[in-house]
């Protein structure tokens, strides 16, 4: 990865050009950096897919949008529209899906071009900094609201208190759940944020045994739901063991390589396990609504705002698990 001078993009038919205000670094950008990502890529490409900005140019055949509109954009730049996944609204799973920041030039740049059909209007009370987290939040609402069922008073275990984990915590809290957030010693600051955001219990798994804490809190029954956000094999194993009989396990974090899991844990307790990938129209509408109402606060998840020219230092900080969500200002290259 490097900073390069490239021509400014021009919006084609049905597309708009956006002046990117703020753009976030995602865990998957680190996976791209290390070449261990399974999402199709076409290089050279401008990475970056979490952003908010303002429409600055409108291509032919675009209705309903004006120059100056503050917007966020879905990342599903292209999909076939004809496969069973697309035709049932799950275009996040289209085999032909081509993603912004992977296949099409993304948001680590002052300007980017997206299809107008993927735009969402920014709520009036949300800042560009906060709205840059709409994309990760939409992935979370897809996993937590659309693929998992959480009921009031459910015990929910969130493993991995990064930005995704803390957004997951807030969405689970919006359902009235009692949320346990588990992290490691290096996550001390993040666990403190989880406590401030309303976690029922936070714990450092290197200091306290997760199984014992869960047993104690749930009267030996186990948690109703596990939302795994860390992408670590140990967290998957601990999460499967922490679940009650017929509990639900949703995988949100990515691993970067194959992991070994005792699948028997799923059989003997009739666990329901699902993956989750990206987001779709409805996940974005829910995410923006949760932001607008204040049920999900993005502000506490933003730890740094750096100029684009410091991207390399920002990636290194993210890798060292310093801070939470790091935002870049692409106009300061």
Question: Which positions lie near Zn ion, rule CB under 5 A?
Answer: 26, 28, 79-80, 83, 86, 94
Minimum gap (Å) between residue 103 Cβ and Zn ion: 14
> 86 and 79 in contact (C-beta within 8 Å)?
yes
Distance, in Å, from the CA atom of 251 to the CA atom of 317, rounded to the nearest integer, reads 25
Query: What distance lies between CA 1 and its chain's CA centroid?
Result: 22
3-state secondary structure of 11: coil
Q: Looking at beta carbons only, is 39 or 177 nearer to Zn ion?
A: 39
Nearer to Zn ion, 55 or 137 (CB): 137
Q: Which is nearer to Zn ion, 142 or 178 (CB)?
A: 142
Minimum Å distance from CB 224 to Zn ion?
Answer: 27
CA dihedral (113, 63, 73, 128) positive or negative: positive
* CB of 156 vs Zn ion, minimal distance in Å: 22
Shortest spacing between CB 101 and Zn ion, in angstroms: 8
For residue 117, how far is the Cα from the chain centroid?
A: 21
Instruction: Give whichever of 202 and 302 is closer to Zn ion, judged by the CB atom.
Output: 302
Residue with Cβ nearer Zn ion (60 or 84): 84
Of 213 and 306, the one with the shorter C-beta distance to Zn ion is 306
Q: What is the DSSP letter of 187?
A: G
Residue 294 phi/psi, 5-degree rounding, is: 90, 0
Provide, rounded to whole angstroms, the least separation between the CB of residue 214 and Zn ion. Answer: 29
Q: Which residues contact 316 (CB under 8 A, 6 or more apart)?
A: none
Question: Minimal distance in Å, beta carbon 259 to Zn ion?
Answer: 20
d(CA 68, CA 57): 9
SS3 195: helix
């Amino acid at each position: 990865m490097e900073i390069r001078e490239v021509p400014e993009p021009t919006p084609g038919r049905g597309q708009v050009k956006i002046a990117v205000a703020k753009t976030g670094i995602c865990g998957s950008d680190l996976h791209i950096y290390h070449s261990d990502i399974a999402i199709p890529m076409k290089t050279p490409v401008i990475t970056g897919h979490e952003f908010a900005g303002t429409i600055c140019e409108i291509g032919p055949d675009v209705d309903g949008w004006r120059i100056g509109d503050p917007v966020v954009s879905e990342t599903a730049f292209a999909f076939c529209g004809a496969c069973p996944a697309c035709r049932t609204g799950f275009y996040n799973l289209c085999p032909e899906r081509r993603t912004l920041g992977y296949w099409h030039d993304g948001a680590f740049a002052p300007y980017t071009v997206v299809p107008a059909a993927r735009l969402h209007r920014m709520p009036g009370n949300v800042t560009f900094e906060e709205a840059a987290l709409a994309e990760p939040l939409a992935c979370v609402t897809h996993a937590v609201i659309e693929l998992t069922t959480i009921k009031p008073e459910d015990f929910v275990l969130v493993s991995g208190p990064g930005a995704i984990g803390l957004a997951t915590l807030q969405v689970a809290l919006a359902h009235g759940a009692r949320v346990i957030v588990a992290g490691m010693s290096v996550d001390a600051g993040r666990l403190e944020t989880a406590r401030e955001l309303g976690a029922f219990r936070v714990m450092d798994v290197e200091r306290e045994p997760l199984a014992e804490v869960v047993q104690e809190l749930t009267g030996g029954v186990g948690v109703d739901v596990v939302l795994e956000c860390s992408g670590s094999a140990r967290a998957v194993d601990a999460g499967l063991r922490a679940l009650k009989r017929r509990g639900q396990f949703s995988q949100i974090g990515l691993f970067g390589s194959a992991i070994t899991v005792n699948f028997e844990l799923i059989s003997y307790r009739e666990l329901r396990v699902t993956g989750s990938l990206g987001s779709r129209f409805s996940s974005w509408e829910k995410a923006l609504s949760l932001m607008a109402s204040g049920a999900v606060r993005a502000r506490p998840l933003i730890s740094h705002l750096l100029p684009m020219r410091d991207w390399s230092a920002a990636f290194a900080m993210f890798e060292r698990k310093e801070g939470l969500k790091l935002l870049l200002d692409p106009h300061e290259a």
